[in-house]
């Protein structure tokens, strides 16, 4: 049970709610905070103060004062008018992450909405009611307005949602889950849409997956280094201590663990080769830099996940309502851009090793890892596909966060484009998973050509995992389905568990 308002929410918990249906509840302390901030809004409504979004219009219409008897209609109109998203729909794990992230933000008690709003979001998660949210239409400032409006419409019985695997009108989805639509009070529509939840959901899930891709990438690098008869001397602790970046130390530690007690490594101890190619020799430096980037991104996203990103902000202790810019998603945009660059380098290094594995001129292995080169094309196209994915990543890695187009009649004159950075980060991570999967296929095949010599204990465990998922080939076969299977493994928690087991052994 994940208790909102009791302690900080972790990225892993967000992923658990999004993908594994972990349960959520709102703690009493959070309810009390929300009730206190709601009382401030109620007092505003009985006075003559004009407070943005409570009794005024929105954006360029901020100076239009709304009569007290129209504030409910104002909130409903806001959701309807702002549901302007287009394009492909967010995957359901992303939409579920949006639900829990918005609930967590509102639970801080600085948004002026009733606890019933958060409880309704939690009920949708429990009832498997997942809003249909278009991915395009947000510029990442003033919040992810359009995507969140689509999400919030379901709460009031409009829009569209999935109930389990069935897509239907929002009202039917609520009814099917035994839920009732809400009637929004003053400020509550704005509180539901003024946040960074699409951008953050995309970035958080991509970051969780990126750690898995990184672990699989280091494991693949260890196996490839073994079968290419490369040296593990660059991974020695006394070498890395001379330039002790934390990520480089972590990558080198894993390389040593995977290759421990390797007969393959011992077989060429005196081969006379002076240096390996960078894709083997510089794994600690390249993969280590990506590790350090992931640690930074995780820290940034942990702050965002546990923050208020609303406007205006309600301070119950001082009875104040303050307009600010906590909805601006620039911190998320920069983090997502950094994330995709870091993961793209994991794939880039992996593709270079695939190239060496399939090139008999440098590998000493059969050409393209085929049993009968010429008659069979073996793994030739593994490198082509990896090259295509790596090239696509280079385009996706253009930083979205350096762009800005003013909106809102010039009032919202700088925006973050964080949703674009988040979408691209997710695609880069998926592409990198395919590349690492292709390397695992090639390195495992290469190990079979090195038999009867055995690789290190960790590499043999990795090889066994690959072969349980994808049996050894008997001649040419389509590579696509095997790659899909291994990519799913790369994106699962399994590579992290394998690394932990190898490091502990």
- Give catalytic residue positions: 52
How many other C-beta atoms lie within 10 A of the C-beta of residue 144?
35
How crowded is the C-beta side of 88, counted as CA atoms within 13 Å? 6
Task: State how far the alpha carbon of 172 is from the alpha carbons of 123, 162, 216, in Å.
Answer: 15, 10, 42
At 65, give phi and psi (nearest 5°): -80, 135
Q: How far is CA 295 from the centre of its chain?
A: 13
How crowded is the C-beta side of 412, counted as CA atoms within 13 Å? 23
Angle at 457 between CA 456 and CA 461, to 5 degrees: 115
Exposure of 116 by Cβ count < 10 A (0-12 exposed, 13-18 middle, 19+ buried)?
middle
Across the beta sheet with 129-131, the strand order is 129-131, 160-163, 166-169
CB 26 within 8 A of CB 4: yes
Helix (H) / strand (E) element for 320: namely strand 320-322
Which residue in 420, 388, 427, 386 sits closest to 405, CA to CA? 420
Token pair of 14 as six digits: 């967000």
Exposure of 178 by Cβ count < 10 A (0-12 exposed, 13-18 middle, 19+ buried)?
exposed
* Spatial CB neighbours of 89, under 8 Å, sequence gap ≥ 6: 132, 133, 134, 135
Exposure of 25 by Cβ count < 10 A (0-12 exposed, 13-18 middle, 19+ buried)?
middle
Pairing of strands 129-131, 24-26: unpaired
Which residue in 151, 232, 186 sits closest to 455, CA to CA? 232
How many other C-beta atoms lie within 10 A of the C-beta of residue 391?
12
């Amino acid at each position: 049970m994940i208790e909102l308002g009791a302690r900080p929410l972790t990225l892993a918990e967000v992923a658990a709610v999004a993908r594994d249906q972990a349960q959520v509840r709102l703690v009493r302390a959070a309810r009390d905070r929300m009730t206190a901030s709601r009382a401030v809004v109620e007092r505003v409504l009985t006075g003559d103060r004009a407070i943005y979004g409570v009794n005024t219009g929105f954006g360029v219409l901020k100076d239009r004062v709304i009569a007290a008897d129209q504030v409910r209609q104002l909130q409903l109109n806001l959701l309807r008018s702002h549901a302007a998203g287009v394009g492909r729909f967010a995957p359901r794990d992303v939409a579920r992450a949006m639900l829990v992230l918005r609930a967590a933000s509102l639970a801080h008690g600085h948004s002026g909405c009733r606890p019933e709003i958060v409880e309704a979001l939690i009920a949708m998660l429990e009832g498997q009611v997942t809003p249909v949210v278009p991915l395009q239409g947000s510029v990442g400032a003033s919040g992810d307005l359009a995507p969140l409006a689509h999400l919030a419409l379901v709460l009031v019985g409009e829009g569209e949602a999935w109930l389990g695997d069935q897509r239907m009108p929002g009202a039917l989805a609520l009814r099917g889950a035994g839920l009732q639509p809400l009637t929004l009070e003053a400020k509550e529509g704005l509180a539901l849409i003024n946040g960074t939840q699409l951008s953050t959901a995309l970035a958080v899930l991509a970051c969780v997956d990126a750690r898995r891709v990184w672990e699989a990438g280091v494991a693949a690098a260890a196996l490839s280094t073994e079968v290419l008869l490369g040296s593990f001397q660059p991974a020695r602790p006394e070498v890395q201590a001379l330039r002790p970046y934390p990520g480089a130390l972590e990558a080198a530690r894993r390389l040593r663990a995977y290759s421990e007690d390797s007969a393959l490594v011992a077989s060429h101890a005196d081969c006379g080769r002076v240096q390996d190619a960078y894709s083997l020799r510089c794994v600690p430096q390249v993969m280590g830099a990506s590790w350090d980037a992931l640690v930074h991104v995780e820290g940034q996203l942990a702050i965002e996940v546990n923050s208020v990103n609303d406007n205006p902000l309600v301070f119950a202790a001082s009875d104040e309502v303050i307009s600010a810019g906590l909805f601006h998603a620039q911190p998320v945009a920069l983090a997502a851009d950094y994330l995709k660059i870091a993961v793209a380098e994991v794939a880039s290094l992996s593709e270079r090793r695939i190239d060496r594995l399939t090139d008999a001129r440098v590998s000493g292995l059969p050409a393209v890892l085929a049993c009968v080169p010429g008659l069979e094309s073996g793994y030739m196209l593994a490198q082509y596909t990896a090259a295509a994915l790596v090239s696509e990543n280079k385009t996706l890695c253009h930083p979205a966060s350096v762009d800005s187009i003013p909106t809102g009649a010039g009032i919202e004159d700088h925006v973050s484009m964080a949703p674009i950075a988040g979408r691209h980060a997710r695609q880069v991570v998926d592409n990198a998973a395919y590349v690492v999967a292709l390397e695992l296929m090639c390195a495992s095949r290469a190990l079979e050509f090195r038999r009867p010599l055995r690789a290190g204990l960790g590499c043999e465990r990795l090889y066994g995992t690959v072969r349980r998922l994808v049996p050894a080939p008997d001649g040419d076969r389509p590579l696509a389905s095997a790659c899909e299977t291994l990519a799913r493994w790369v994106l699962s928690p399994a590579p992290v568990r394998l690394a932990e087991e190898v490091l502990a052994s």
